[in-house]
Amino acid sequence: MASAQVHTVFDLFGPTEQIAVQRGLAEFRAGRPVLFAADDALIAMPVDGAVSLQEFRQMRSAAPLRLAITARRAHALGIEADGAVAVRLSGAEDLAKLLSLSADARVAQPLDAVPAGPAAAAAIDLAKLAERLPALLVTDPARGRVANPGSLVRVEAEAVARFRQHLADSLSIAATSLLPLDGVAALLVVFRDAIGGTPAALMVGEPDFSGPVLVRLHSACLTGDVFGSRRCDCGDQLKLAIARVAEAGGIILYLHQEGRGLGLANKTRAYRLQDLGLDTVDANVTLGFEDDERDYRVAARMLQLLGCRRVMLLTNNPAKLAGLAAAGIEICGRMPLQAPVKPENRRYLTARAVRAGHCLDDLWKS
């Protein structure tokens, strides 16, 4: 009876399976293990972050461990794979060695791996949502002596696959305020989702919602927007976007998608790989990510809540048009947004144009 009452209480706050994913996400962000259930089952714990050497040794002594990684990371390590794999560990690795296996450009040792099941794939997906490296220590809860597995948060693998849509559906407007800018009035609209994320919209001037609205999707970039980094064009694009939408009225969505969805820590790891000679695309995939991990369902929901369903998109990236359209927004056209090319970001912009299909005509003129 007590368990039924608890189940009912959880249902009041949303689907029970999605609440479990939210709790699992919090555990991963704290560096703690989570139990994933599918046709197979495993306990997974992020390699990077808050994991201490003591915790690692306790797991290692309790049951055999493997390192679950994406197919992208497997290829970087010289392992042929069509999906996630589990790398066999010798038991002699320390955390520094595991981080090397998870993030270094080159690893000078032969590795033995087997295909990973759906539980491991779900764990990797949740690690990406938690902005961890997509590399996890995994162990079979049915083998060895895993201490008190019943105390772990249990997440259904299929629920993880549905979580991004749940996150978009959970979005609501949290607060609004006038925000005076240089020479133009603006309205700041802050949203909140089921896990406390707060993407924001800046409505500049007086957008006309009876027709297509000029919209810029801007992924947060601390290094470019705030610190003025010259290795990307993000800060310059944000300034240009504000000026452009101020002319006719429009909307800038400021999205929590640092590093094309990798998160700040992983973007910084990618920078380190770029300093060693990789371009921006190869750096991301070497870490085990796709080149671009962004999902535009949240952006589409933000526009819908603002009453905007038809847009003229201010972008050089065709993937943004496709992503918004797939999420239910009518795309009426595209306007380019090309910032000045600088010596420090030419290599970055060239990779975006040649390898990711960005429309950067000015790159070839300068």
pLDDT at position 175, please? 98
Place of tokens 């999906």: 83
Three-state DSSP class for residue 45: strand
Three-state secondary structure call for residue 35: strand
Selected catalytic residue, list 292, 295, 301, 352: 292
SS (H, E, C) 100-158: HHHHCCCCCCCCCEEECCHHHHHHHHHHHHCCCCCEEEEECCCCCCCCCHHHCCEEEHH
Backbone angles phi, psi at 310, to 5 degrees: -130, 130
Phi, psi of 363 (to 5 degrees): -60, -35
Task: Judge whether 193 counts as a catalytic residue.
Answer: no
Sign of the Cα pseudo-torsion (284, 285, 288, 289, in order): positive
Report the predicted TM-score, pTM, of the whole model to 2 decimal places: 0.91
Q: Strand pairing partners for 213?
A: 311
Say if residue 53 is exposed, middle or buried (CB neighbours under 10 Å; 0-12, 13-18, 19+).
exposed
CA 255 to chain centre: 11
Tell me the β-bridge partners of 189.
176, 201
Domains of the chain (ranges, CATH numbers): 2-161 (3.90.870.10), 165-257+294-365 (3.40.50.10990)
In the set 66, 244, 269, 294, the catalytic residue is 294
Q: Are 35 and 151 in contact (CB under 8 A)?
A: no
292 carries an active-site annotation: yes
Q: Is there a contact between 124 and 36 (Cβ–Cβ < 8 Å)?
A: no
Q: Angle 2-12/16-29 helices, nearest 10 degrees?
A: 80
Per-residue pLDDT of the chain (366 residues; tens, 9 = 90+): 344 444 444 455 678 899 999 999 999 999 999 999 998 899 999 999 655 666 766 766 667 889 999 999 999 999 999 999 999 988 778 888 899 999 999 888 789 999 999 999 999 999 999 999 999 999 988 765 555 566 899 999 999 999 999 999 999 999 999 999 988 889 999 999 999 999 999 999 889 999 999 999 999 999 999 999 999 999 999 999 999 999 889 999 999 999 999 999 999 999 999 999 999 999 999 999 999 999 999 999 999 999 999 999 999 999 999 999 999 999 999 999 988 888 888 888 888 888 888 888 766 565
Q: Please tell me the predicted confidence (pLDDT) of residue 149.
A: 60
In the prediction, which pLDDT does 7 show?
A: 45
Token couple for 293: 């991990």
CA pair distance 36, 30, nearest whole angstrom = 17
pLDDT of 262: 97
**DSSP 8-state assignment for residue 184:** B
Q: What is the pLDDT of residue 93?
A: 81
Phi, psi (5° rounding) for residue 73? -70, -40
Question: In this structure, are strands 34-37 and 154-156 parallel, antiparallel, or unpaired?
Answer: parallel
